[in-house]
Each structure stands twice: as structure tokens, then as C-alpha cells.
Amino acid sequence: MHPDTGERLYRSGDLGRWLPDGTIEFLGRDDFQIKIRGQRIELPEIEHTARTHPEVKHAIADVFERGGQQSLVLFAVPHSEGADISHEKLAAEENDFAEGGVEITDPAERLLFKMQRLGIRQFDSGSNDEVQLSPAAALAGWKSQRVFQQQPVSLTQFSRFLGLLACRQIGESPKYDYGSAGGLYPVQCYLHVKRNRVEGVEEGFYYYDPVRHALVALEAGPLDEDIHYSHNREAAASAGFSVFLVGDLEAIVPLYGAFGRDMCLLEAGAMAQLLRSRAGEFGIGVCQLGDLSTDPIIKACRLGERHAFLASLIGGGIEPREEAAVASTPTKNTEDFRSRLKAYLQEQLPSYMIPARIVSLPELPLTANGKVDRALLRQRAETVEATPAAQAVPPANEIESVIAAELQTLLGVSEVQVTDNFFDIGATSALLVKLYHRICQRLEQSFALINVFQHPSVRSLADFIGTQGDGDKPSRSASKARAQKRLQRLKSSSSKA
């Protein structure tokens, strides 16, 4: 209550400062309530509703400005399908093995165990075909990719790429270009190469021997791309080969006990990072993928209970220009996810709370303090809005061209889709009134303002105007005649007065 008047006071959430002249300057709000088109909107309510969708893991709603118009944008991180099941399975496998293993504590026995080099898989002499690789090289560079050339990668390129994982020194103390707990190097590298995608390498599964720098053939044949979850299948289909990092628990648990698999995960992360950061030097791009169905890989690579699947990557040949294309062009799976999420929000929220754009991200950017970096998200929204759609539909006739041009000018954008809803792309009622007057002036045609709201897209409005024919289009002489009549009526009224 007000201490002097006794009137009720409200904590509005507005921030302000009291100036010396007695006025209060509004500075903003201390919460996430915003006002767009006269409607007060709680951004957390949009975020909460989005997170109730089964495909959404994280969601952040915000406001961005374009051409002086404010619009809602939603940043959504989709779930990795089946992730929980996969991790539970791996954890169960780890616990089963750790419970049955015996940790070696005697220093001499530990050294003897290390010298066995159990992380290098052994095969009976002559039991498997081999592809001898050309010498490994150590170069430098960076590339990350989800779209790949369909031409085959040369054996030299492929050999140097895998050479990043090669053993640099053979003996009691092996050396690699990445670290490993206790120098054990229990993480093994398996691959599947597609048909005609690596010169001199037949389609099938292989084990990469880092000591002999050779591929050991395991099983011929294709890899079913359905092992990947839907959001990764398009990228996997484009790739020329897959890399699977697998920990041999018998090569580390005796020294590290229940922490053995954790050590394997750290090593696999270092290996994956090395491949990602250096692949571009050899004209190869790679992309690390999330969870996948591992059963076909386990069977083809002849893995057992002692093995723990850790990570997977896809790769292939690349060109520099492809990087920009991948960054700016959303995949069909991404578009489908955004469409489904928007339809869900339209069922749950009032129309004024529906985001004009939904941006799908693999993860949310964080500040140094671990908070969501909203400034970086706003920059991403501006980039997405400035990028034309992958399959733009141009205006089909003169009327559509006029409407589209005027709408672009009012919104301050370089392109609009003829099928986009006016309100979805940031238009307001006031802006549509301006659009109406501009269209009438440009086309020299009159129609009721309400029709702009009843036909809220370039195409539908153009179709409506096109059906009006010339009957509603006033001629210049007719307009001039009506103006002269109005002037005469004014003069007559003035003389009578």
C-alpha cells in the first residue's frame, strides 16, 4: 500500500530511474515479459510449452527486430532420439564387466600388463585380407562437414587421415598424437567404407591397426543407414565412410577398475577431436554423430562383451565452397522438425504468442558463466532471417511482384516467400494498412482493406485482386470527374453559407 495515500501498489517488473526533475525514465524490465503488437507476452510460457513437445530438449524464446518491426523467435534444440536407451545399455555393459574384473595393484604386474599391448587387436596370420596404407604424414588444418563430395577419396588422402591415429613409436613406451590413461591406448578404431568412395578399398568393415598402419578386413558389404537416427540420416547418406571408436575394457579395467570406461571415453574424445581438427589438411571432412543403433556394427566387427562402443564419425571428400552451403541451408529433417513444432505451438498457444521463426540448433550457446548467450542467439536469428529459403518461390505474375516488393520494403528484408503468412514474417496490423495503401496506389485499383487480412499472403492476396478484374479499377478520367464534382459541391455549400 502507498504510505501516504493508502492506494494499492503493484510490483510490475518494470525498471526505471527517478530523474532530478521528478520524471521517471523507463529502462526496461527485470523479467522476460515483452510487449508486441499491444499484447503482453511471457517468454518463459512459450519456452515451457515448446519443451512439452516430445522432440524438444531445450527451448529459448526471444525478440528480434527487423525493419523496425519486432517479432518472436524460438531457438529449439531437438532431442537425440533413443539417447537414454543407448546410454543405459552402455552403462549396463560397463557395470557387468567391471564387476567381473580384477584390478591389478602390484607395480611389476601392472608394467607387465602394459607391455602386452592388449589395445592392439591381434589376428591369426593370413586369416584376414589387408590393405597396406601409404606412409602416414603429420600436417595441420581444420574442417567440419555434413555434406560430402560423391567422388572417391584417394588412398593417399585416406592413409594420411587415418595416420593421425597411428602409433609413432613402437616399444615399451608407444607414442601417439593424443593422450591415453596410463599409456594403455585401449580405444580401437573401426571403419565402414562405402562402395567406390575410397580408392583401392572395397566396401565393408575394417579394423585400423595403428602399429602396422593397415586396414584389416572384417566383413564385406554395405552399412544400413537406418542405424542412425532420423536427424543424421541425410548426412550419413552423403558420407563416404564411417569411423567407430570402441574401447577394449580388458585393456584398461585391470588397472583402472570401474573407471576404465571413463578413461576410454576421454581417449575417444581426444581421438575424435584430432580427426575433426586435422582432416581438412587432406581434403577430407568429418562430423561426429550422436547415438546410433550399434548392434549391426558389433556383429560386423566381431565385438564382444569386453568392448564398449564410445563414439562415431562420418567423413568424405569436401570442397571449400560446401562449408558455406552447409551452414546456410537447413536439411529436410530440420525443416520437418520446425514445422511439427510450430503446428504444436499453434494448438497450445494463442496466435499472438506463436514465434515468427523457429531456429533449430544442435546446442544452446553459453557464456563464460554458463548462462545462455542470448546476444549470440539474436545474432543467429538475424543471420537466419537474412538467408533466403532453400527453395524460394518467385512471384508468378505482376500483381505478386508488386505486393512482394512493397512488403519487402516495409519489412526491411531482401526477399519474402509468396506463400508466407504476413503475420508469421513479422507484419503488424499497422504495417498491413500501409501495405494496402501502397498496393492500391501501385496497381491503381481499389478494394476493401479487410481483404488484406482475409488473404494474408502475397499469393492469396494477388489471387483475390486478380479476380476483381477491371471493374473495380478506376480510370484517371473517372477519378478526375469525381474530384471535380466534390469541388463543385464544396463551392455550392460555401456560396449558400
Per-residue confidence (pLDDT) for residue 307, from 0 to 100: 95
What's the rounded Cα separation, in Å, for the pair 35 and 47?
A: 16
CA 433 to chain centre: 37
Angular region, 37: left φ>0, alpha ψ -120 to 50, beta rest: left
Rounded average pLDDT per 10-residue block, the chain, 497 residues: 76 73 70 65 86 88 72 82 38 44 62 74 78 67 70 93 86 81 93 95 96 94 84 85 96 93 94 90 87 89 94 84 40 70 85 82 76 77 51 80 88 78 74 89 88 88 80 46 55 56
Please spell the DSSP secondary structure of 48-65, one letter per residue. HHHHTSTTEEEEEEEEEE
What's the rounded Cα separation, in Å, for the pair 20 and 25?
A: 11
C-alpha cell at 386: 537474412
C-alpha cell at 247: 574401447
C-alpha cell at 46: 512459450
Angular region, 171: left φ>0, alpha ψ -120 to 50, beta rest: left
Per-residue confidence (pLDDT) for residue 327, from 0 to 100: 38
Task: Name residues whose C-beta falls within 8 Å of residue 485's C-beta, 6 or more positions apart in sequence.
Answer: none
* 432-439: long-range pairs with CB below 8 Å, 24+: 432/456, 434/410, 435/403, 435/406, 435/407, 435/410, 438/406, 438/410, 439/402, 439/403, 439/406, 439/465
What's the rounded Cα separation, in Å, for the pair 295 and 313?
A: 17
Per-residue confidence (pLDDT) for residue 101, from 0 to 100: 52
What's the rounded Cα separation, in Å, for the pair 74 and 62?
A: 6
What's the rounded Cα separation, in Å, for the pair 41 and 123?
A: 65
Specify the 3-state DSSP secondary structure of 338. helix
Amino acid at 113: F
Per-residue confidence (pLDDT) for residue 268, from 0 to 100: 95
Q: Which residues pair with 309 in a beta bridge?
A: 246
Judge whether 198 and 153 are in contact, CB under 8 Å. yes
Judge whether 287 and 146 are in contact, CB under 8 Å. yes
Query: What percentage of the chain's residues is helix, strand, coil (to nearest 5)?
Result: 45, 20, 35
Which domains, from first to last, does the chain contain?
1-79+329-387 (3.30.300.30), 83-318 (3.40.109.10), 398-476 (1.10.1200.10)
* Residue the block writes with cell 516495409: 410
C-alpha cell at 280: 581438412
CA nearest 103: which of 232, 253, 246? 253
Per-residue confidence (pLDDT) for residue 32, from 0 to 100: 58
Judge whether 302 and 232 are in contact, CB under 8 Å. no
What's the rounded Cα separation, in Å, for the pair 321 and 270?
A: 28
